[in-house]
Homo-oligomer: A and B are copies of this chain.
Amino acid sequence: MKIQNYKDVSGVEVAPGAVRRILAGPDEGAPNFVMRLFEIEPGGGTLHHTHPWEHELFVLEGEGVLKSGNAERPVAEGDTVMVLPGEQHGILNTSKELLRVICVVPLVDGKMPGMKPT
């Protein structure tokens, strides 16, 4: 059993203004899925993309929009988002405060899958 605070996990900027920390994944022995935490600065966001695996999101703090194709829907603290395999998506911080989001993805062939913009 591993316990660690997310602030002690190093982050990597994966998109403009969006830092990803891997909280529970293959390095922690995760067999099936990976819990990550994204910190998105005002004006930042993840790329609009699609892939054949799902996301399960939980908004910890802040406000933003969830894009899917031409649609935009607001998200805020306490919201959970189920992004199904194949659904276009991207999250943007449209507020003036930090947006923090948990995002869980499945392991694919034992690794955290990559993504490609659409």
Q: Which residues in A have some Cβ–Cβ distance to B below 8 Å?
A: 1-7, 9, 23-24, 28-33, 35, 37, 53-54, 56, 58, 60, 66, 68, 73, 75-76, 78-85, 87, 89, 102, 104, 106
> Chain A interface mostly helix, strand, loop or mixed?
strand
Copies in the complex: 2
Determine which of B5, B24, B78, B104 lies in contact with A78 in the assembled complex, contact meaning CB atoms within 8 Å. B5
With a cutoff of 8 Å between Cβ atoms, the chain B residues found around residue A37 in the complex are 58
B1 x A58 contact (CB < 8 A): no
In the complex, 14 of the A-B residue pairs with CB atoms within 8 angstroms, ordered by the A residue number, are A1-B66, A1-B87, A3-B82, A4-B80, A5-B79, A6-B79, A24-B80, A24-B81, A28-B82, A29-B84, A30-B82, A33-B33, A37-B58, A58-B102
